[in-house]
Chains A and B, each alone.
Chain A
Amino acid sequence: MKNKMDWKMAFRNLRRNKRRTISTGLALVIASCGLALIGGYLYKSENSIRTYTVYHLRSGHLSIWKTSGVDKFFTDLEQFQINKEELSQLQELLVPYSSKIEKTAQFLVAPALLSSGQKSIPILLTGYTVDLDPYIRNHPNVLRWSPELLSLFSKTTFMDALNGDPDAISVSRGVSELIDRLGNFSSMKKEDRELTIAALDSEKHLNAVSATLAVQHSTGMPFLEDLSVNSSLRLAQNLLRLEGIRNFNIFLKDASEMIWLQKKLQADIDAAHLPLEVLNFKDPRIGQFYNGSMGFLSVVGFFFLVLVLGSSSLIISSSITMDLLERTKEMGTLRSLGFKASWVTRIYVKEALILSLMAGLVGVAFSEAIAAAINVAGWTYQPVGLNNRVRFLIFIRPEIHLLILLLLLMVSGLSSYLVAKKKTKENIAGLLNDAGASA
């Protein structure tokens, strides 16, 4: 009953002084709004970078390599490949987890030379199981977090091209320019489309295979754009005279199970005495793009949050302190009427909590409205490290709102409690004579 009256009184007090309520409330609204928007931007950025790494760069959530293969594969292809037998054992080990795995893909990568007869350029050939392309292209995460990067895929699917010609290759736009083969490949003369790829094979001998220019793609990364050539796994294996692969990537249905599955799988692999290691896409050895981008974004985000949060908290706290100091006489009156110091303190704390809660809720509504307006506006920007422009979007998770709301309640509750407790303990006559903030 008494508790209910506290809340009523606190609410009435807020209504009584509209100017004070509005100005402090507005500061709280703006702070919560700003924090929610930057939180939403960081959340969206992390998801886009993760989606780009896992799907567009085809890293998968988990990647299985020969032990030390990440560093040493190119020094000894034969030794650091995952050979056929190991691959088959690995696939057996994956069977119990099939319900958690959405897709798997095999990769073989090699530095090589692409020659058109007139020109030769260095390339990075990636042979892989190309049924991965339609999976990535239609994946809900890709459609949600980085739809603009779908333009990185060629219009003609590489898989279709390979069905017609097993020697078909897909080259990045940069490679097309460097070998002077621009335009629609299908309308080119056959001899212009026929190229040769050469590389040192697993026995360190120079080997070459024929390839047909079929499709153009983009890596999205400026520094890979002059190097990237994709082929079937078979073509890369023929070039390197290998039967195995470099790495085996796993795409999970639920990314939150990544660490759990990584540990389970590594334990199973160790128990089977297979010389393989399971890495996740955040591992610095294979996830340079993710780690580099997130490293920078985290520092900037950290600065932003600390500075805005710190200054907002201090400003709000000083604003609430001033509100209470202004009301010293009021405190004296309440105390002289017989109210206990703890009760008076409670009233003021509740007042601050109501104000913060209301302002926080208004902040939620405002930030959602601003985010929606920004998302509809369709602004684009060019992030560091990517060729493509991406849409500037803000997605604010309910957890972000909740966290900010709790923070506001904590800051305002604590400030009001400390000030009110100190003031209400003073002598009643002193409180009544105190001019408070108007001295």
Chain B
Amino acid sequence: MMFGLFFKISIRNMRRHWRQSLSALLSVATGFVALVVFEGYMKDVKVGFYDDFRTRQMYGDFIIEKDGVFSTAGRAHPENFELNREDQKFISEILDPDPQVEAWMGSLRISGMVTNGRISTAFFGVGYDLKKGLIFRGQRWSPNTIYGMRLEDAGNHSIVLGKGLGENLDCVGDPPVTIVRSSDGYPQGIRPLKCIDKSILLSTWTSTGQISALDANVSGVVDAGIKAVDSSFIAMSLSEAQSLAHSESLSYATVLLKDGVPVKDFVDKFQRAIQQRGLNLHAVEWKDHEKVGDIYRRLMSMLTILRNFIVLIILCIGTLSVFNTLFKIIKGRSREIGTWRSLGFTVNQLTCAFAIEAFVLGLTGSALGLVLSILFTLTVNQGHFIYHASVFSAEPLYLALVMDPQACVRSFAILSAVCVFASMASIRGVVRNKIVDNLIAN
């Protein structure tokens, strides 16, 4: 009852003292824009990473590997740290009948030398199950080549190259086009690929030290992510990678869950099944993976530090500004406070009334900030500004912002708290004065 009355009064007061309230509103609104816009950039980077790693690069929701695969022993003798038949059978037994699983896919890492007869260079690549790969990539990333044909449509003995490796081997777009990475997938249609020689020879060393070779045709060029990886990346079918490596094992398996399935819970459940079976495997979400998620974690940690720094500065300046404004408003309304008190309102009720007014101020300022943030976000997103960040992307990126409802709620909560705190700090002295002093205050 009392709350409703104070709420009505606070709205009326805000309208009556609009000139003073405007200053506080502006402070809250600009603080809101700063917080939401930076969070919007962070969210865009995060969404971009998820889209790239989970979908386009087919890491799915989590990765299953042997324990110690990146230990010194694992790197010196990777053949001892691959998923053998028993491991694959176990994975299949657990995941195939599970209705929460969309698909799981085995992959084999492979490295060696690639030559087109004129140029010879090192490659690091992956062989994957082509049919499952299509499920992982979904409709948006089903066509995944920048130039040429995707692996799934090319015949046997086909490979795709990272764009950088393609350039080294004289396989380039004809004509070259600038493709900016976005989560909408690539523009429709096949962009022609021109190679001086599409026939190449891959050679590698088997676990027994023998040289193994494979003649293959370059069908297309893909963006392999980070520039350093892109300049030595190849992808091929799992069966051909296994045949080249003389192996039936997998380096790792990736699992795609159905939409809405809680990933962490599922990973925990799968990990328990591994322990029950006594296998030396582990399951980990791609973002927590030692190698795959490394750049994501570092980038997000850096952005989080900067975001916190922004929050700190906005909080300090905003609090002072709001405090300053509210102090003036409250001081100017000493007589009004005196009248309220002479009518029988208690100090607590008055503090509460002004806190509600400050909260309404925070709410209105946030609403104004929300409108400004939406306008700013639309302007940036429509601007199609392009930037290069080869620390995590071989292709240029669009500068984009994502309106994050959680960030809006968080910013509103922070700024409203600032207003309430500033109001309570400002009113303390005035309400404790004698009623008569308030009534005769100038």
Binding site for B on A (CB under 8 A): 19-20, 23-24, 26-27, 30-31, 34, 37-38, 71, 74-76, 111, 113, 118-124, 174, 177-180, 182, 199-200, 204, 221-224, 226-227, 284, 288-289, 291-293, 295-296, 298-300, 303-304, 307-308, 310-312, 314-316, 318-319, 321-323, 325-326, 381-385, 435, 437-439
Q: Which of B27, B33, B111 has the most chain A CB atoms closer than 10 A to its own CB?
A: B27
Contacts of A321 in B (CB 8 A): 23
Q: Which of B31, B226, B320, B389 contacts A23 (CB 8 A)?
A: B320
Bitwise interface map of B from 368 to 399 toward A, beta carbon under 8 Å scored 1, else 0? 00000000000000000001111110000001
- Is B111 a contact of A439 with CB atoms below 8 Å? no
CB contact under 8 A between A304 and B388, given known A204-B118, A223-B228, A315-B317:
no
Q: Identify which of B134-142, B268-276, B306-314 touches chain A.
A: B306-314
Q: Which of B20, B31, B313, B387 contacts A30 (CB 8 A)?
A: B313
Q: B14 in the interface, Cβ–Cβ < 8 Å?
A: no
With CB as the reference atom, state the residue of chain A lying closest to B31: A311
Question: How far does the alpha carbon of A318 sit from the alpha carbon of B115 in the complex, in Å?
Answer: 66
Question: How far does the alpha carbon of A199 sit from the alpha carbon of B211 in the complex, in Å?
Answer: 15
CB contact under 8 A between A224 and B228, given known A300-B303, A310-B30:
yes
- Is B294 a contact of A75 with CB atoms below 8 Å? no
Q: Which of B111, B118, B294, B314 contacts A76 (CB 8 A)?
A: B118
Question: How far does the alpha carbon of A74 sit from the alpha carbon of B171 in the complex, in Å?
Answer: 13
Question: How far does the alpha carbon of A123 sit from the alpha carbon of B32 in the complex, in Å?
Answer: 51
- Is B321 a contact of A319 with CB atoms below 8 Å? yes
Give the shortest distance, in Å, between A367 (CB) and chain B (any CB): 12
- Is A439 a contact of B19 with CB atoms below 8 Å? yes
- Is B328 a contact of A383 with CB atoms below 8 Å? no
Q: B209 in the interface, Cβ–Cβ < 8 Å?
A: yes
Give the shortest distance, in Å, between A422 (CB) and chain B (any CB): 13
- Is B302 a contact of A384 with CB atoms below 8 Å? yes
Give the shortest distance, in Å, between A375 (CB) and chain B (any CB): 16
CB contact under 8 A between A304 and B306, given known A223-B228, A299-B387, A319-B324:
yes
In the A-B complex, the 9 residue pairs with the smallest Cβ-Cβ separation, listed nearest first, are A292-B390, A438-B332, A122-B122, A223-B228, A296-B389, A34-B313, A111-B121, A295-B388, A307-B34
Q: Which of B41, B75, B303 contacts A178 (CB 8 A)?
A: B75
Q: Which of B33, B167, B331, B390 has the most chain A CB atoms closer than 10 A to its own CB?
A: B390
With CB as the reference atom, state the residue of chain B lying closest to A181: B76
Q: Which residues of B, 278-311, contact A by the 8 Å Cβ criterion?
A: 294-295, 298-299, 301-303, 306, 309-310
Contacts of A119 in B (CB 8 A): 205, 209
- Is A384 a contact of B113 with CB atoms below 8 Å? no
Contacts of A221 in B (CB 8 A): 228
With CB as the reference atom, state the residue of chain B lying closest to A124: B122
With CB as the reference atom, state the residue of chain A lying closest to B302: A384
- Is A180 a contact of B77 with CB atoms below 8 Å? yes
With CB as the reference atom, state the residue of chain B lying closest to A28: B317
Contacts of B117 in A (CB 8 A): 204
Q: B261 in the interface, Cβ–Cβ < 8 Å?
A: no
Question: How far does the alpha carbon of A111 sit from the alpha carbon of B321 in the complex, in Å?
Answer: 61
Question: How far does the alpha carbon of A408 sit from the alpha carbon of B4 in the complex, in Å?
Answer: 43
- Is A118 a contact of B209 with CB atoms below 8 Å? yes
With CB as the reference atom, state the residue of chain B lying closest to A224: B228
Main secondary structure of the interface of B (DSSP, over half): helix
CB contact under 8 A between A30 and B320, given known A75-B170, A199-B120, A384-B295:
yes
Give the shortest distance, in Å, between B389 (CB) and chain A (any CB): 4
- Is A439 a contact of B332 with CB atoms below 8 Å? yes
Number of B interface residues at 8 Å Cβ cutoff, please give it: 76
Contacts of B122 in A (CB 8 A): 111, 122-124, 227
- Is A307 a contact of B120 with CB atoms below 8 Å? no
Q: Which residues of B, 83-126, contact A by the 8 Å Cβ criterion?
A: 111-113, 115, 117-124
**10 A–B pairs (Cβ distance < 8 Å), ordered by A:** A38-B309, A179-B76, A180-B76, A200-B119, A222-B294, A307-B37, A314-B30, A316-B317, A384-B295, A438-B333
* Besides the known contacts A111-B122, A178-B75, A292-B227, 4 further A-B residue pairs in the complex with CB atoms under 8 A apart: A289-B390, A325-B19, A437-B328, A437-B332
Q: Which of A20, A300, A326 contacts B306 (CB 8 A)?
A: A300
Q: B17 in the interface, Cβ–Cβ < 8 Å?
A: yes
Give the shortest distance, in Å, between A288 (CB) and chain B (any CB): 5
Q: B316 in the interface, Cβ–Cβ < 8 Å?
A: yes
Contacts of A227 in B (CB 8 A): 122, 232
Q: Which of A293, A310, A312, A322 contacts B23 (CB 8 A)?
A: A322
Q: B416 in the interface, Cβ–Cβ < 8 Å?
A: no
Contacts of B229 in A (CB 8 A): 223
Contacts of A299 in B (CB 8 A): 41, 387, 389, 399
Q: Which of A295, A326, A384 contacts B387 (CB 8 A)?
A: A295
Contacts of B303 in A (CB 8 A): 300
Question: How far does the alpha carbon of A80 sit from the alpha carbon of B52 in the complex, in Å?
Answer: 37
Give the shortest distance, in Å, between A410 (CB) and chain B (any CB): 17
Question: How far does the alpha carbon of A123 sit from the alpha carbon of B313 in the complex, in Å?
Answer: 48
Contacts of B124 in A (CB 8 A): 122, 226
Q: Which of A23, A111, A121, A325 contacts B111 (CB 8 A)?
A: A121
Give the shortest distance, in Å, between B113 (CB) and chain A (any CB): 5
- Is A23 a contact of B205 with CB atoms below 8 Å? no
Question: How far does the alpha carbon of A55 sit from the alpha carbon of B295 in the complex, in Å?
Answer: 24
Bitwise interface map of B from 7 to 46 toward A, beta carbon under 8 Å scored 1, else 0? 0000000000101101100110011011001100100000
